[in-house]
Amino acid sequence: MTFLSKYIVYTRFYRLIILYSIILHTVRAGFDANAKNNVAVYWGQGPNQERLSFYCKKGLMDIAILSFLNKITPDTAGFNFGNACWGPECPLIAEDIKICQSLGIKVMLSLGGDAYYGDFNLESDSGGEAAATYIYQMFNLKSNAPVIKPFGPDVQIDGFDLDVENYKQNGQIALYKKLRELWGDDPLLLSAGPQCPFPDTNVGELVETGILDIIFLQFYSNPSCNMIASNAAFSKSWDTWTNEFEKIESLSNKKPLVFVGLQGQQNDAWHANLSYITSQMIDKKSNKFFSGFSTWDAVAAYNCIDISLGKKMDYLTGLKYLASGVFDNAKVNDEL
């Protein structure tokens, strides 16, 4: 063979491998606790958002985090899913949860959100337990207490996330312990979204208990540890947290699944592009706690067209490929 034909054969072969690896990695739909290429996406607050099922059907996310159950006190619960539903019942979301779950996607409900718009204050351990009880009554199918079930009588969500920003940690641990107790043998994923400065002052105490299955660690909006901060701040923060996860694992005998949380909004000052994330994650993806990426939020990430790798692709696709190792070899970029 001439050099040229060898080159062409090689290039074609290479292209095939890339295609194969993309297909292989993206066909796997749904959350896998043992995988390192999970993508979790917050949905519920984006402007002009499409229905939840629209994003689930794209096959790019493995966990949908509905946001938010934003009013939680010892005796009230209220939610706000932006243009999708304000309650008291959300039949369209219920229908979509079923569609997402049938695709293997876990659907979790996030508690908290922006302190300005919500009211999250459990006050005490007994307040946390009281909140767990009415959350159970609203969202667990086994409860037949006479309260409105926002997702109807036949949709059960897969778990809860705690994403609060009001520095009120009282009652959080009691809330999660009680939820576990009430859920009994039913599967239940519990997560929280700490900010990257260590220790976290919103959900840090909860993280330390080892009760969490998943941690959506937010590496944005914080100058000291943001992914695009200078002076290797992100790497330092990652090391601090992973050391902490080691301690938590040895105390609780449970390995938390850690997601690197990123801002999906393209024009946000803390948004990191795909090329940059690839370079930052190259030595971190093999860490035993790393399970994938989470991003805020579905609308922003889907509408964010990233060209940093030389090809146009939306951020959700990019995060899925990145976590799947598709960009690990720089040459791959030319071939996509």
Q: Which residues are catalytic?
A: 165
Is the sign of the CA dihedral 208, 168, 218, 187 positive or negative?
positive
Using CB under 6 A, count the residues that bind ligand NAG: 5
For ligand NAG, give the closer residue by CB, 131 or 277: 277
Q: Of 119, 209, 215, which is closest to residue 161 (Cα–Cα)?
A: 215
Provide the mask over 226-265, with x wherever binding to ligand NAG is found by CB under 6 A and - wherever it is not.
--x-------------------------------------
SS3 52: helix
Among 166, 235, 266, 273, binds ligand NAG (CB under 6 A): 273
For ligand NAG, give the closer residue by CB, 155 or 309: 309
Smallest distance from the beta carbon of 58 to ligand NAG, in angstroms? 24
DSSP string, 184-204: TTS--EEEE--BSSSS-SSSH
Among 195, 275, 295, 317, binds ligand NAG (CB under 6 A): 275
User: Which token pair is 249?
Assistant: 């694992």
CB of 264 closer than 8 Å to CB of 297: yes
Smallest distance from the beta carbon of 232 to ligand NAG, in angstroms? 13
Q: Is 167 left (phi over 0), alpha (psi -120 to 50) or beta?
A: left
Provide the mask over 169-208, with x wherever binding to ligand NAG is found by CB under 6 A and - wherever it is not.
----------------------------------------
User: Which token pair is 116?
Assistant: 């300005």
Stretch that binds ligand NAG, among 46-54, 73-81, 202-210, 272-280 (CB under 6 A): 272-280
- Considering only residues 279 to 318 of the shown chain, the ones binding ligand NAG according to CB under 6 A are 308
Close Cβ partners of 163 (under 8 Å, ≥ 6 residues apart): 67, 68, 110, 111, 112, 113, 192, 193, 203, 216
Asked if 222 touches ligand NAG (CB under 6 A), the answer is no
The sheet with strand 71-73 has its strands ordered as 76-78, 71-73, 119-120
Among 21, 266, 276, 303, binds ligand NAG (CB under 6 A): 276
Tallying the residues shown for the chain, one arrives at 336
| Contacting residues toward ligand NAG, per CB under 6 A | 228, 273, 275-276, 308
